[in-house]
Structure 1
Amino acid sequence: MAEMTVAQLIAERLVSQGVRRIFGLCGGHIQPLWDAVALAGIEVVDVRHEAAAVYMAHATADLSGELSVALVTAGPGLTNAVTAMSNAFVARSPVLVISGRAPRPQTGMGAMQDIAQAEIVRPICRLVEQVSERHHVISRLDKTIAAALGAVTGATGPAYLDFPTDLLVETVHDADIPALAMEPREAAEPAPSQSAVARAAQLIRASSRIVVIGGRSVRAAADEVRTFLDAAHALYLDSGESRGAIRDDVPGFVPAVRGRAMSEADLVITLGRRLDFQLGYGSPAVFSPDVRFLRIGTSFEELGETRRGEVEVYGSTRAVLTALTEDGLTPEAPDLDWLTDMQKANAHRARKLQTKLQSPELDSDGRMSPNFVIGAVNDLLTDGSVAIADGGDILSFARVGLKPVDYLDCGALGCLGVGVPFAIAAALHRPDESVVAVIGDGSFGFTAMEIDTAVRRGARAVFVVVNNEAWNIERHDQADRFDGNLVGVDLPGCRYDQLARSLGAHGERVEDPGELGDALKRAIDNAPAVVDVLVSRQAKSPDYLSGLAEVPPRQAVGPWNAAEFKRYASQ
């Protein structure tokens, strides 16, 4: 082995893993590693805030299905990344976060930027490692990579390790590299047991109204899901973490009748999906009281959390569905009339939505509806596009109205500020495809400076700021529930188009709905670009109308919460 430093060895291990791009922000504690990864041929995408680095790694991991890496410096560099690490943890995205820490001779002496980094991030990581000796470097790095890919706990997600700066410049010897530890790790793909598959097949055959709900694992198993849906005469509902994997060309895809499908199914099959607040925790107040659950996943949170399944199958979605299809899983008495009725109802609602998306619906101030902006964005999207939604109010409109292309959003954590870094990462990952982020004006403020990163790195994304000059869900809530006492909810006068131009990006402001389509086309041609679109603040989003802003006590939305209280009152 040629003589190399610990930093160079780490870089070589990342190269062997297939890491081609790292997101980060430089700092003294990581400078030896920063230099080493660049010299090893890994592209370093330097950002303006460490949270953005982890957001970008998160988006890249979700779109590629592979490990992605963020590199942040010690102390505030690491703490700046914590929110984004939390988001990746809830989303179960395989992100490796590497940091530096104070030199070993200064440990415990109040060194610069010396804090309990591992203890801060331990609750939001699949594994946390701190390396202090050169002969531990590769084995611990290998272990954290495996943990991020799901090989340690069964669940993918962020893993963390750090190195003291003085260790990074030590010279490595042959004995410091364990056999095979430089070999790449692959994402876990566990096969199910035959007995579990047999129980699942029996449950499917005995059911007549089957609804499949897709989680993040569907991104890697779209073909198998399509085959399964056809064989099982099943309907399909997606979620933000799987949207775009199954699209409108699948007859069973019925997103417009989501609530009805959930309440009328006699069997619900979850594919790598938690029964979190977005699915009413699997409660009989949301689903039929007689429904049975078949849960498929690789961790407890996907298999038994909140509500146990009548059958729980441990295994990857691809492996389990392949085994079920081979086992002959057609239901003995499928309710085909129900299936047809649901498909017709979905088509009817989709047509009504399309009408809304095409109408500006000007309010009393002459401002267009947020729905009209979503419709105009849809006109830009192709089969290869990536769409991103970020915000409070606008996320609700976008989640309902955007075409089912590959899609990322704030996720179950509701983490505002992901839109700009997600879109930059997507544009770098797919440079030949259109990437459009629909972002609320409040949310845009969290990471707006990353437009500079887009310009410097040539990330040709379009950022559509849907600007109602307010934190609008909270504004409506204060108006309706708190006697119009508006406190800290107005954001007037900001010119996000001018900010974009000051950072070297294309920027336009649109107030006339008749000018929006052409402005978006110019943005695509001149990306990176910001289109600042003034919209109605009078429009109330689906999430607001559902009561989400009130944060009800038992369920996330008002109708489910009322149903939950009714269920308890009847017992």
Structure 2
Amino acid sequence: MTERQDLNTDELSVAAWIARTLKARGVDRIFGLQGGHIQPIWDHAAQLGIRIIDVRDEGAAVHMAHAHSELTGTLGVAMATAGPGVTNCVTGIANASLARAPVLLIGGCTSRPQANMGPLQDIPHVDIMRPVTRYSNTARVPEQVIRELGDAIAHTFGDLSEPGPSYLEVPTDVLRTHVPEHMIPTDWIAPPQTRRVRPETDRVEEAVAAIRSAKRPLVVSGRGARNCGDSIVRFLDTINALYLDTQESRGLVPSDHPSVVGAVRAAAMGQADLVITLGRKLDYQLGFGSPAVFPQARFLRVSDTTGELIDNRRGAPEILAPVDIALDALTDALGNDVGARDGDWLDGLRGKHRERIAKGENNPAPKTGSDGKIHPMAVFEAIKAVADPDYIAVADGGDLLSFARVGLAASTYLDAGAFGCLGVGVPFAVAAALACPDRQVISVNGDGAYGINAMEIDTAVRHGAKAVFIVSNNAAWNIERHDQEFNYGGRVVGTMLRHSDYAAMATALGAYGERVEDPADLADAIKRGLENAPAVIDVVTSQQAVSSDAQKGLGFVPDYQALTAWDDAERKRRELA
């Protein structure tokens, strides 16, 4: 038997310096999957009390770091060994990139003496990661690694570009190299000072003039407006505008605020004459800002990053500043003079919004589909009946996401995002339950999306992540199945699954599992899941319950716009041109 030895005792090795720097930057957990290339960092981090959340797939580790960052406002850190360990992270990093989430991935790579000789798990990680990161580099000089680590972290928070993930790898022989203290300046380790830039006075004056001249103003929030809810409410109360949130900014404004008109989204977008975007890109969810979708609007754009100011439609003006600071400056400058509004338009859309909400409340969603199986909306009705008011909601799926956007009323909400990244539901919820142990976490997943990271239920069990994972088990990739059935001559190919027993799988992994086939049993089952979390509630749902996204053509992928109605409008605009 080989005698036990300790090869990682140098407290001034590069690996030790990395762990100390992460600790100093407030990192209290790392999500990852072990491997020899990263073992020196892994070990030193654990010795310093940084919690290691070991997962079953590296991609899930990145998703967890992403969710941790979103919920805590801090750096999310993932770690993966060389070769397939790093390449398994590409999808998660790409998702964090589109979400502009501050995530740091530390990867392993071969030792310098073995480079370019065909060593184990050697592949150009840096080149692979570069298109989906803000920073991607190999740190080869031992005494410079901590400086480069600081650069990577700075990029994640958008200090040198827009926020988003960074990738840094360090050869294993460099990790073991001794670097004396006098070679590491203390400012490389200490957290940087927070910078809060005030908006330019001229831009504020231009924005005030635009707001005063508007008759039908509409405010739309996004990622860059997170944590700015109080400022947004004060601004809305002042300017008398309508308001729409988006998936990435749910819960900033109370749903009963008079400006909220989510139930008449299309009309608000189509009739507004001034659209004020707050930290929001004009991506496919907002019709790319096209005149076909916003035929009467000029744009006023506010963000702390240029990427959310200049995409697709330019603002007049554009204000580069933190959203809360910019809104407070605008509110103060407007005072009591906000200009004249089209009261009929405001009151009319507010009234229609309230009517539709009331209609939905007075006419509960069907309990079953035409095939007698549970309707997905019944799941959300049951959640509403048993969940705490401040629960954290996670939604994952294609077809199911359309139902979830309407049915999940939580103020804290995460989903597959602009990347449409299926598979985030389980890892996001695991990270949420660990980051917020005093709050209920409920993850609702389509069965297809759930299968991508279902093994992370094991991670939830091992680390005590007390989330409830609800699976809408309709035995299909249903938005694609519907597309095939109605747009491809009824040829349904490769989109059917099975009503697999996900509750039994959960039980085998050590979690609580329960299958539900009667909608009357849903609320009690979810309640038992909350009491025995981590838990999987496997709900046999109907394929015949067609989502609004399927009906609007999202699965079909029209030529110009994501939805067929917008695509038709875009075609008409082009024909006129």
Q: Distance in 2 between matches of 1:172 and 1:295?
A: 47
Quote how far apart the aligned CAs of 1:309 are. Answer: 1.1
Asked whether the equivalents of residues 386 and 436 of structure 1 are also in contact (C-alpha less than 8 Å), the reply is: yes
Superposed CA offset, 1:408-438 (max 9, x none)? 0000010000000000111111101111011
Asked whether the equivalents of residues 270 and 296 of structure 2 are also in contact (C-alpha less than 8 Å), the reply is: no
The aligned residue for residue 286 of structure 1 is 293
The aligned residue for residue 94 of structure 2 is 86
1:40 aligned onto 2:56: no
1:544 aligned onto 2:515: no
Q: Which moved more, 1:183-192 or 1:323-332?
A: 183-192
With normalisation by structure 2, the TM-score equals: 0.96
Say if 1:430 and 1:3 are closer, same or farther in 2 by CA, change over 3 A.
closer
Structure 1: which amino acid aligns with 2:404? Answer: A
SS, match of residue 533 in structure 1: strand
Q: Distance in 2 between matches of 1:252 and 1:262?
A: 14
Say if 1:206 and 1:18 are closer, same or farther in 2 by CA, change over 3 A.
same
Q: Distance in 2 between matches of 1:464 and 1:185?
A: 41
Quote how far apart the aligned CAs of 1:176 are. Answer: 2.3
SS, match of residue 138 in structure 1: helix
Q: 1:445 aligns with which of 443, 451, 470?
A: 451
SS, match of residue 281 in structure 2: coil
Quote how far apart the aligned CAs of 1:358 are. Answer: 4.6
Superposed CA offset, 1:304-354 (max 9, x none)? 111111211111101111111121254210223322222221111112233
SS, match of residue 340 in structure 1: helix
Q: Distance in 1 between matches of 2:31 and 2:104?
A: 11
Counterparts of residues 318-357 of structure 1 (less than 5 Å): 318-328=324-334, 330-355=337-362, 357=364
Say if 1:496 and 1:563 are closer, same or farther in 2 by CA, change over 3 A.
same
Q: Any stretches of 5+ residues in structure 1 without a counterpart?
A: none
Say if 1:189 and 1:380 are closer, same or farther in 2 by CA, change over 3 A.
farther
Q: 1:197 aligns with which of 201, 204, 207?
A: 204
Superposed CA offset, 1:288-318 (max 9, x none)? x231100111333200111111211111101
Quote how far apart the aligned CAs of 1:25 are. Answer: 0.6
State the number of aligned residues. Answer: 567
The aligned residue for residue 54 of structure 1 is 62
The aligned residue for residue 7 of structure 2 is none
Asked whether the equivalents of residues 430 and 467 of structure 2 are also in contact (C-alpha less than 8 Å), the reply is: yes
Q: 2:266 aligns with which of 259, 281, 285?
A: 259
The aligned residue for residue 529 of structure 2 is 523
Structure 2: which amino acid aligns with 1:84? Answer: G
1:215 aligned onto 2:222: yes
Quote how far apart the aligned CAs of 1:265 are. Answer: 1.0
Q: Distance in 1 between matches of 2:387 and 2:565?
A: 33
Q: Distance in 2 between matches of 1:164 and 1:528?
A: 38
Q: 2:138 aligns with which of 108, 122, 130?
A: 130
Asked whether the equivalents of residues 247 and 404 of structure 1 are also in contact (C-alpha less than 8 Å), the reply is: no
Counterparts of residues 157-306 of structure 1 (less than 5 Å): 157-185=164-192, 189-287=196-294, 289-306=295-312
The aligned residue for residue 435 of structure 1 is 441
Q: Distance in 2 between matches of 1:76 and 1:491?
A: 28
Say if 1:237 and 1:271 are closer, same or farther in 2 by CA, change over 3 A.
same
Q: Distance in 2 between matches of 1:221 and 1:66?
A: 16
Structure 2: which amino acid aligns with 1:185? Answer: P
1:568 aligned onto 2:545: no
Say if 1:433 and 1:478 are closer, same or farther in 2 by CA, change over 3 A.
same
Q: Distance in 2 between matches of 1:190 and 1:117?
A: 35
The aligned residue for residue 400 of structure 2 is 394
Superposed CA offset, 1:3-28 (max 9, x none)? 52111111111111111111111100
Q: Which moved more, 1:414-423 or 1:322-331?
A: 322-331
Counterparts of residues 398-547 of structure 1 (less than 5 Å): 398-547=404-553
Quote how far apart the aligned CAs of 1:129 are. Answer: 2.2
Superposed CA offset, 1:54-105 (max 9, x none)? 0001111111111111111111000000000000000100101111100011
The aligned residue for residue 72 of structure 1 is 80
SS, match of residue 420 in structure 1: helix
Q: Distance in 2 between matches of 1:535 and 1:188?
A: 50
Q: Distance in 1 between matches of 2:345 and 2:489?
A: 45
Q: Distance in 2 between matches of 1:542 and 1:413?
A: 19
The aligned residue for residue 37 of structure 2 is 29
Q: Distance in 2 between matches of 1:553 and 1:195?
A: 40
The aligned residue for residue 558 of structure 1 is 564
Superposed CA offset, 1:177-219 (max 9, x none)? 1341111136654321111111111111111211111111222
Q: Distance in 1 between matches of 2:424 and 2:212?
A: 42
With normalisation by structure 1, the TM-score equals: 0.97
Superposed CA offset, 1:218-252 (max 9, x none)? 22211111111111112211111111222214221
Q: Any stretches of 5+ residues in structure 2 without a counterpart?
A: 1-9
Asked whether the equivalents of residues 357 and 374 of structure 1 are also in contact (C-alpha less than 8 Å), the reply is: no
SS, match of residue 247 in structure 2: coil
Q: 1:99 aligns with which of 104, 107, 111?
A: 107
